[in-house]
Structure 1
Amino acid sequence: MKIIKLDAIDSTNTYLRQLSMEEKLPDFTIVTAALQTAGKGQMGTKWNAEKGKNLTFSVFKKIFCLENEEAFYMSMATSLAIYNALKHFQVPKLAIKWPNDILSENQKICGILIENVIQNSKMTAAIIGIGLNVNQTVFKVGLNASSLKKSTGVHFDLDEVMFEIAKQLKKYSHLITERSFELLKNEYESLLFRKDKPSTFKMPNGKLFMGFIQGVSEDGKLNILLEDDIMTAFDLKEIKLMY
């Protein structure tokens, strides 16, 4: 496992993707930064974190066993890896908020952004970006965020947490290599935030509707049972889960 430590960078994902185009990288190459000035989040959002207090890193993972339409299994594996790493550190009341946010006590502590590397129309690798709030305790007003320290009262060693995540990521990536998709999907769905509970969702036009999260489709859409007992699959761009 090759680790590149940077003091500051715009985005570890961007840096690692560029590096992968310039040289042949070993599997599980990690780029970590004390400060990320333009960290990427889902749907073009930014990940903001105080310098030196949190983990902002990206992992280069070679993938030759997934079809393009199976890419969400990498997201499931990453979510499960982080969930179990945090469970190891006794972080309380963990859940996975679809598609791949990690919550503690209903507050976001980790965001994941996976960018696939496609060559000749075939997926060959993934750049796995992880932003984890570790020792930061003050967040912007209105931001539903927490950290490992806020949840546990413990000050964590950043490298120790990162190595545990990498260890778990290797474990769950092995399930992808074995194509143990059903095992991955069942474990992921069992940990979904608000699964089988009446939940409110918001559409891009502002319209609200109620439904029950049942799980995910093979391509990562959220399966919701609507009031009229119709199961509908929604993409990330189509709905937002409200608290």
Structure 2
Amino acid sequence: MSHSFAIKLPLTTLQEVDSTNNYAMARINEGSVTSGQAWLALYQTSGKGQRGKPWQSNPGENIMMSIALKPNGLLLADQFMLSSSVALGSYDFVKNYAGDATRIKWSNDIYINDKKAGGILIENLIRGNRWMYAVAGIGINLNQESFSPDVPNPVSLCQITGRKHDLLKMAEELYNCIMNRISLMHPKDYEQLLEEYNRRLYRRGEKQWFLSKRGKFEAMIKGVENDGKLVLENDGKLTSVSFGEVSFII
């Protein structure tokens, strides 16, 4: 069960919900949303991260938000363009407080140095070959200072800045950063967008240990291709890997 009240359209806050992505997708299926509408949860009982992992957060301390986006004029092949735009908007927001140590870790985590400050999960509504809607779920560690041992290398903006932040104001700022990037998104500018994404890429040009089904291996991160695949170099050979094929060892 969820309770909601309007803060300032198009952002609505939910006292408690299983997952803001689930809530947003349910509203889409009802036909009761407009593109750009967003929901902020004070508490999620079943928050979702990438690869089906739970997203853990103390009540009222972090930004847990989902935005409904109608990809007008975009094809299914353009999914990473939307994903990278949301990532860059989240990067812009965190960089305002954490500075140049902010990076985008492939594919959609926000890092400060070697610690995770946030993550993004995009889920799509597809009918046939038509991309009907996307739900961009964004979680940013804001005011939390103690984390479960199960959460790998977390950090919050409070820990970085040394002060607590107003949750609702910060959520609106994050929303505006993301929607600004969305407003600039156009297929003809995708190459420029991807270049910027790669400039902000965590450990680009550095060697990094990864884990795959075949075991551990070390490779240099070269960048990300326009289909969202990560390009790695190992012993002079370039390979492209899809999300889920490898994971970082940090």
Amino acid at match of 1:111: G
Per-residue CA deviation, residues 126-157 of structure 1 (Å, 9 max, x unaligned), is: 10001111000001236310100011112111
Amino acid at match of 2:11: I
Runs of 5+ unmatched residues, structure 2: 1-8
Q: Percent identity over the alignment?
A: 31
Amino acid at match of 2:248: L
| Equivalent position to 1:202, from 206, 211, 232 | 211
Alignment match, 1:117: 125
Q: Secondary structure of the residue that 1:225 maps to in structure 2?
A: strand
Amino acid at match of 1:74: L
Question: 1:153-164, aligned counterparts within 5 Å?
Answer: 153-164=162-173
Distance 1:140 1:200, change over 3 A: same
Q: Secondary structure of the residue that 1:176 maps to in structure 2?
A: coil
Alignment match, 2:230: 222
Q: CA deviation at 1:46?
A: 0.6
Alignment match, 1:132: 140
Q: 2:96 matched to 1:80?
A: no
How many pairs are equivalent?
241
Task: Verify the 8 A CA contact 1:92 1:152 in the aligned structure 2.
Answer: no
TM-score by length of 2: 0.92
Alignment match, 1:148: 157
After superposition, the CA RMSD in angstroms is 1.5
Runs of 5+ unmatched residues, structure 1: none
Question: 1:1-243, aligned counterparts within 5 Å?
Answer: 1-91=9-99, 93-141=101-149, 143-177=152-186, 179-205=188-214, 207-227=215-235, 229-243=236-250
Q: CA deviation at 1:17?
A: 0.3
Q: CA deviation at 1:77?
A: 0.5
Task: Verify the 8 A CA contact 1:78 1:172 in the aligned structure 2.
Answer: yes
Q: CA deviation at 1:4?
A: 2.2
Runs of 4+ in 1 over 4 A off after TM superposition: none
TM-score by length of 1: 0.94
Q: CA deviation at 1:90?
A: 4.1
Per-residue CA deviation, residues 59-88 of structure 1 (Å, 9 max, x unaligned), is: 011112221122011111011101111222
